[in-house]
Amino acid sequence: MAQHGNPFGKVAVLMGGRSAERDISLMSGHGVLAALRSRGVDAHAFDPAEQPMDELKRQGFARCFIALHGRYGEDGTVQGALELMGIPYTGAGVMSSSIAIDKVMTKRVWLAEGLPTPRYVLLHRDGFTPAQVQAVPGELGLPLIVKPVREGSSLGLTQVSDLAQMQQAVTAAAALDADILCEQFIAGDEVTCPVVGEGSGARALPVIRIIAPGGQYDYQNKYFSDATEYRVPCNLPKGEEAAIQALALKAYRVLGCRGWGRLDVMIDAATRQPWLLEINTSPGMTGHSLVPMAAQAAGLSYEDLCLQLLADATLDYPLPTGERA
């Protein structure tokens, strides 16, 4: 790809938005914007919380780099609007985005395909009793994880280590989502594996091992702490990285993802079995983010990664040439 000139036309970097991850999205978006501009792309910031989406068409944008995280950006809604306007965009399409934002729907697809994901119990905000909440540890064991079904960045996540914490953990998750996921806790190594591309052309980037202070890879330690350690190369036992990359690729493909994504995986310390936790279809691009880190380890700079993702921007239903004006 030529680094001079601008084959992309006028590009909108979608950032901010209305989700609970707005602040992180702004950080990601400004990083992407600077990277694209440094390579001569005619890129502009566009915040869907501040301008209606149809302004993209009115202002003549030719494609969009989606740096939105969470709801109204990573869940198929923005993707659907861009499909209607015929403006190609980065990342997963409408269906893949809407499934992947929902941790339980994602698990259902993976389980149907025979892929390993921790056991879970789903609670609905308006439909569970205290007795049902107290029964969850008996089914999943302790400790366990409680989190909102459609939130990212570890928002609303609690690691429950005794029965007395259950109600508070469920209440915290229910404040962010009508559906609450209670999940079996896997003790062991926490790793993540980014994937770029589509279908048979998709490839897994190096696996990153995450070592967070006190084992708590929470919102603070994800974005604002320098104490969290990221190991690339991951230095896992021989053969494990390749096995996790193969698992991540399969998990990405069965959801029909394209462009890029990042699979979060726990490796059981006792059995060394990898377990799929979730997939992010619009991963962070901040100074602490993991996809740029893995790309760097694979010899791909932040700027080149942004250019590659932009070059891969597409539509689920591409318009015939000449209909996009």
Instruction: Report the C-alpha gap between 286 and 308 in whole angstroms.
Output: 17
Pinpoint the residues of the chain covered by CATH 3.40.50.20: 10-90
Q: Residue 1 above 60 pLDDT?
A: no
The letter for the amino acid at 306 is C
pTM over 0.95: no
Q: Residue 27 above 50 pLDDT?
A: yes
Which residue in 96, 98, 153, 289 is the catalytic one? 153
Average pLDDT over residues 117-137: 94
Q: Is 6 among the residues known to form the active site?
A: no
Q: Is 50 among the residues known to form the active site?
A: no
- 212 or 285: which carries more pLDDT confidence? 285
pLDDT band at 221 (very low <50, low <70, confident <90, very high): low
Which residue in 19, 28, 96, 280 is the catalytic one? 280
Which residue in 278, 282, 289, 302 is the catalytic one? 278
Q: Is 280 among the residues known to form the active site?
A: yes
Q: Is 252 among the residues known to form the active site?
A: no
Q: Is 223 among the residues known to form the active site?
A: yes
Token pair 């000139």: residue: 5
Average pLDDT over residues 158-181: 95
| Nearest by Cα to 146 from 131, 165, 130, 127 | 165
Which residue in 16, 17, 21, 219 is the catalytic one? 21
Q: Is 153 among the residues known to form the active site?
A: yes
Residue-wise pLDDT tens digits, 259-318: 999 999 999 999 999 999 999 999 999 988 999 999 999 999 999 999 999 999 999 998
The CATH fold of domain 99-116+186-307 = D-amino Acid Aminotransferase; Chain A, domain 1 (3.30.470)
112 contact partners, CB below 8 Å, separation of at least 6: none
Pinpoint the residues of the chain covered by CATH 3.30.1490.20: 120-184
Tokens of 173: 């998750």
Task: Determine contact, residues 48/78, Cβ cutoff 8 Å.
Answer: yes
3-state secondary structure (DSSP) of residue 170: helix
Q: Which helix (H) or strand (E) holds 279?
A: strand 274-280
Residue-wise pLDDT tens digits, 77-116: 999 999 999 999 999 999 999 999 999 999 999 999 999 9
**What is the longest distance spanned by two Cα atoms in the chain?**
64
Q: Is 278 among the residues known to form the active site?
A: yes
Parallel, antiparallel or unpaired: strands 260-268 and 188-196: antiparallel
Average pLDDT over residues 118-128: 94
- Specify whether domain 10-90 bears CATH 3.40.50.20: yes
| Nearest by Cα to 305 from 232, 199, 196, 198 | 196
Which residue in 179, 241, 264, 303 is the catalytic one? 264
When mean pLDDT is compared over 92-96, 130-134, 154-158, the highest value belongs to 92-96
Pinpoint the residues of the chain covered by CATH 3.30.470.20: 99-116+186-307
CATH number for the domain running over 120-184: 3.30.1490.20
